[in-house]
Amino acid sequence: MPEHTPAPPDDELTRTWHGVRSELRAEVPDLTFHIWLEPLELAGRRGTRLFVRAPEHIRTWVEERYLPLLTGAAAKVIGGAPELEIVDDAWAPSDDQHAHAAPPVAGPPGDPSFLNPKYTFEQFVIGDGNRLAHGAALAVAEQPGQTYNPLFIQGPPGLGKTHLLHAIGNYVRAFGGGLTVRYATAEMFTTEYVTASRGGGMRDFHERFRHADVLLIDDVQFLAEKMKTEEEFFHTFNALYEGGSQLVLTSDRPPGELAGLEQRLRERFACGLIAELEPPTLDVRLAILRTRARLDALHGVPEETLAEIARHVSSSVRALEGALIRVVAYASLRGETPTPDLARNLLERLYPRPADAPPTLSDIQTATAEALDVTRDELVAQDRRPKVAFARQVAMYLARELTDESLPAIGKEFGGRNHSTVMHAHRRIKASLASDAETARLVDGVRGRLRRPS
């Protein structure tokens, strides 16, 4: 009877899967990783056989297309010739399998290898709302401890705070001449501190955090009301600051609004440069999507589809990239091209706009076409019939009045017309409204359609 292979401990399984995920992330474009590989979990291991759990909707696709890639990544981590089996949600280790279940993997807290190698300054799309934060982060990366110290980056979730933190860390690791970088979220810092204080590991904890040349702490607002952790972070901050090390902190609000934190910490956070991130404009959102599509080799996504996504999702960069992932995944699973109509229909379900949200260009085109008895295709075509030309001018007028879109952006959505055409249409309808009751009635009718709940 063969000997049973001892089941590996949970922490070994955690390290194994973290290593496999790191290899996968380095091998494939971000979009591929996020759609097909990030949802995977290590369910268990029996010797060199790994059981990988995949959600039902992507299980067959992963097995058919990515099993060799997964196997290769596992071979780099555990050596030999591992076997991988894709399993479903109901899979569980049993005695006859001699397999050991794996816990969820979140990545080793504070481990510098946890830096995402694809979060770089080159991948960060610069706009008016993030120019200061980007410039300050780059200056800090080039001269740690000599420019802005501490650097405090604040803004709503999903605008690029974590990207800039990782970009600083990756830059210093590549060009810093051996300077040590430590990255952790506030939750990671808290978890490590609690574990160290209970297990007698404070010496190692201090070695990791108080002797770094660059300390990057994400989401410091989560330190609030954790008195012992705040005390420890206060002393960590002082030790690094007084030793000339660089500190970079992020938060969803400025230091003065972190009411749950001790005053002495808020004062230290505010003693350097505070750089705010603001939501990206339409042009920047479109540039972000173009960059994402280029880096992830999404050659089959039309420019018009990217523009539709950029118009529909404005809350954050994270939501924007998530929308692109969903559109491409949905089209791929259905074997379709990711057209603007597909994107519009999908995103209207996934990201419903608030009732008081301003109309989009698509909304205006649809409402105008319905009210003036033409089709949307006619509005954007080279159709010069008076009825269509008038409807097109009404739509352009309303687009100028009701949205923040630029003249070139409006013209592009009306069949690639130039900005002077849009300006002419706006002036003509505006003049008609003052002198022609019928024009005023028709325009009010379109406005009424735009105000109705969809």
Note the pLDDT tens digit of each residue in 142-170.
999 998 999 999 998 889 999 999 999 99
Task: Give the pLDDT score at 42.
Answer: 86
pTM (two decimals):
0.65
The domains located in the chain, with CATH, are 10-101 (3.30.300.180), 112-276 (3.40.50.300), 282-350 (1.10.8), 361-451 (1.10.1750.10)
Looking at 41-45, 107-111, 264-268, 287-291, which range is the least confident one? 107-111
- Evaluate if residue 37 carries a pLDDT over 80: yes
Task: Give the pLDDT score at 392.
Answer: 94
d(CA 109, CA 96): 34
With b meaning 16 or more CB within 10 Å and e meaning fewer, what string describes 52-75?
bbbeeebbeebeeebeebbeebbb
Task: Give the pLDDT score at 330.
Answer: 84
**Nearest one of 68, 66, 70, 217 to 153, comparing CA atoms:** 217
d(CA 184, CA 169): 11
Note the pLDDT tens digit of each residue in 65-84.
888 899 988 888 888 788 88
- Evaluate if residue 235 carries a pLDDT over 70: yes
Note the pLDDT tens digit of each residue in 363-386.
899 899 989 989 988 988 888 899
Task: Give the pLDDT score at 363.
Answer: 84
d(CA 376, CA 356): 24
Label residue 110 by pLDDT band (50, 70, 90): very low
Task: Give the pLDDT score at 94.
Answer: 57
Share of the chain above pLDDT 70, in %: 90
